Structure 1
Amino acid sequence: MRHARDVQRSPRPRRPAALAGTVVATGVVAAGAAVVGAPDLFGLAGSRPFVWSVPFRLATAAGLGGLAALVGLAGLRWRRVLPPALALAVVAAGSLATTGVRGLSAGELPPARAGDVTVLAANVLHGQADPAALTRLVVDGGADVVSLPESDLALAEDLAARVEAATGTPVQVFHLRDRGRSRFGTALLVSARLGEYRATGELTDGVKAVVTAAPVSGTGPVLAAAHTAAPVPDLLEPWAVEVRAVADWCAATPGAIVAGDLNATLDHPGLRLRGSCVDAGAQTGTGARGTWPARVPAPLGATIDHALADGNAWRAVGSRVEDVPGSDHRALLSRWRPVT
């Protein structure tokens, strides 16, 4: 007769309740992580608090990845937390992949060809940007068009004079003041290489400060320099309307090019580009390189300065994100080539 201790017991089957709990916990963690890491997929990128977190996708992905690592370490002792850790890691990897596809590179410009149009967008922080540094960006980059959000007329005219002195080519200056400000607004500078331009006044009453201009002579494109409202708590509604208006203008205007501080990333609903409108950074590998705030490393910043164009008429062949001494933004230099 065998003693009771000699009888081998069968492994106790895992309790269904415990398994169900793990499944539910994993689902909740995965859903929560997905909302945090990619609120745009759920239509939440324009709502609080995601409107302020979605521009910093790389930092969010790093945070989710770090949390996944911590939970994974705990899983060495409690295996039930390994599935939630894996869910966190998958969401973090997806967010990183999106960032990688858009591009974190500082970028480069290929040599210009006949017919190319080069555009510089530089928020000058209420005229505090160094005019000598701006001049170098324009001249060395071969910019035909310059968009200067937060500029007064004096800075715009000074920059135009400096560029003309350096290149020998006249530069037209257009300027529109911000609503409610006495001096500052947005300036649009256009090189005579593109021909003569006239201001058209489109979007003037619908966006914080946007200058639109059309060619009177020459073969240059329809142009706009834009600065929308910022997504601060009191301005979320006008911000959404203004960003959408600029993107829609791009899509509806044949041959258009628009550049400036749009205070939105491609994840925000207003910059879900429609029709033929395309983004230079996304096309050329700088689409996730942060342009604001300049005090943080560019890969961790928000890409809110853009150059957009009618993709039926133009394709971006290069872009470069540049530091601007004196400004809290980095500048975006983009080169557009006619679609043939």
Structure 2
Amino acid sequence: MTTTDAPPEKRPKRRRVALSVLIWVTLAPGTLWLLGRAFGLERGPLITFFAGTPFVAAWTVIPFLGALAAKRWRAAVVAGLVAAGMGACVLPRAVPDLDKGPSDGVALRVLTLNTLYGEADPAQIVQLVRDNDVAVLAVQEFTPGGEAALKAAGIGQLLPYQQLSAATDAGGSGLYSRYPMLTQATRRNDGGFQQAFATIQPAGAVAVHVESVHPLAPVGPEMYPRWAADLREQPHAGGDGPLPILLGDFNATLDHEELRDLIDTGYRDAADAVGEGLTPTWPSFDGSSGLVTIDHVLVDERIGVRDLRVHTVRHSDHRAVLASLTIPTAG
């Protein structure tokens, strides 16, 4: 009689080989992800997936610990380097920067919210403005119904100066300000969404350019290049004019090269500056905190960041982002 069973002495060897293969297989996704993140290789559908980089970074600890436990030292070295690399990409967002910009100047609080086709609770928005002494409110997915609801809730009494471009689809945009708008207009980005903008000058401060930002979401092949174009065409920082403040739904995280390139023109991300860069803003339903951070306040590096808080708003799938800034004094 014959048998196909392996000799007993070969079985442990097979198990060791299988375990080694398993460790390397679990290590491969994180390794490839790190290479893509480091070299800005997100393309096509990968654009959406790269928003989940913090979750992949957490995963890379598992093959590292597994390799250590199994005493697969070469795999452990590679896994350790991958975990460290992913950590270097992600973890600084949870640590306040030493340089948050100037601390002396004129205080300015700004609030941004994607209102989900104007459905976000207008009374809660107005309450956030009132309770937090907000001087500038930016809204996206701003509809005629949303405009009417905010007006009825009393937004005009708090922020009387306005640049409003409501639309019946997701492309509407609005800006509300406590201070007069020295210039104001709305532009339509490559993705077809409107972006309201204005120049304001808080009392005693230099003039600032504020813009309600809303690039197209990268959710299909025809949208990928337009999403990238929308981010590339945002106003750059560092010029001689009014200091720019971009606030809104960027449909991008700090793991997207296009957004990092925009920041590198001379912005600081307010959430990243104060150690809140991993606080998620979308999708938020029924009080949930969300999964990814796509709503941002970007400020010219000559503007200081004091604080940032995120608030859940009823009937919106985005959370509101409230930033406390310091604007340089005039003169």
TM-score of the two chains, using structure 1 as the length reference: 0.75
1:129 — aligned with what? 120
| Cα pair 1:197 1:217 within 8 Å, conserved | no
Structure 2 distance, partners of 1:217, 1:97, is 38
* 1:57-76 matches, cutoff 5 A: 57-73=53-69, 75=70
* 1:35-46 matches, cutoff 5 A: 35-37=32-34, 39-44=36-41, 46=42
Which one-letter code corresponds to 1:129 in the other structure? A
| Distance verdict in 2 for CA 1:229–1:172, change over 3 Å | same
1:305 aligns with 2:295: yes
Structure 2 distance, partners of 1:139, 1:51, is 37
Select the residue among 217, 222, 227 that pairs with 2:209.
Answer: 222
Select the residue among 129, 137, 142 that pairs with 1:151.
Answer: 142
2:253 — aligned with what? 265
* Cα offset, 1:32, TM superposition: 5.4
Cα shift readout 1:63-107 (whole Å, capped 9, x = no counterpart): 22223334444x2xxx4x3421442244224423443311289xx
1:275 aligns with 2:271: no
* Cα offset, 1:308, TM superposition: 1.1
* Cα offset, 1:157, TM superposition: 4.5
| Cα pair 2:95 2:274 within 8 Å, conserved | no
Cα shift readout 1:84-137 (whole Å, capped 9, x = no counterpart): 1442244224423443311289xxxxxx99721111111111122111221221
Structure 1 distance, partners of 2:108, 2:175, is 14
For residue 151 of structure 1, give the secondary structure of its aligned residue in structure 2: coil
Question: How many pairs does the alignment contain?
Answer: 297
| Distance verdict in 2 for CA 1:233–1:71, change over 3 Å | farther
| Distance verdict in 2 for CA 1:58–1:336, change over 3 Å | same
1:6 — aligned with what? none
* Cα offset, 1:138, TM superposition: 1.4
| Distance verdict in 2 for CA 1:170–1:334, change over 3 Å | closer
1:53 aligns with 2:49: yes
| Distance verdict in 2 for CA 1:48–1:85, change over 3 Å | farther
* Cα offset, 1:185, TM superposition: 1.0
Structure 2 distance, partners of 1:113, 1:244, is 31
Identity %: 26
TM-score of the two chains, using structure 2 as the length reference: 0.77
Structure 1 distance, partners of 2:313, 2:324, is 19
* 1:93-112 matches, cutoff 5 A: 93-103=84-94
Structure 1 distance, partners of 2:306, 2:226, is 33
Which one-letter code corresponds to 1:117 in the other structure? L
Structure 1 distance, partners of 2:111, 2:245, is 11
Which one-letter code corresponds to 1:34 in the other structure? T
* Cα offset, 1:49, TM superposition: 4.3
* Cα offset, 1:29, TM superposition: 8.1
Structure 2 distance, partners of 1:54, 1:183, is 23
Which one-letter code corresponds to 1:271 in the other structure? L
1:141 — aligned with what? 132
Which one-letter code corresponds to 1:228 in the other structure? P
Pick which of 141-150 and 217-226 moved more: 217-226
Structure 2 distance, partners of 1:305, 1:104, is 19
* Cα offset, 1:223, TM superposition: 1.3
For residue 114 of structure 2, give the secondary structure of its aligned residue in structure 1: coil
1:242 — aligned with what? 230
1:255 — aligned with what? 243
Structure 1 distance, partners of 2:267, 2:253, is 15
| Cα pair 1:259 1:308 within 8 Å, conserved | yes
Select the residue among 163, 171, 184 that pairs with 1:199.
Answer: 184
Structure 2 distance, partners of 1:339, 1:38, is 40
Pick which of 324-333 and 34-43 moved more: 34-43
| Cα pair 1:125 1:327 within 8 Å, conserved | yes
2:325 — aligned with what? 336
| Cα pair 2:180 2:201 within 8 Å, conserved | yes
Higher normalized helix content (fraction of residues): 1
| Cα pair 2:126 2:155 within 8 Å, conserved | no
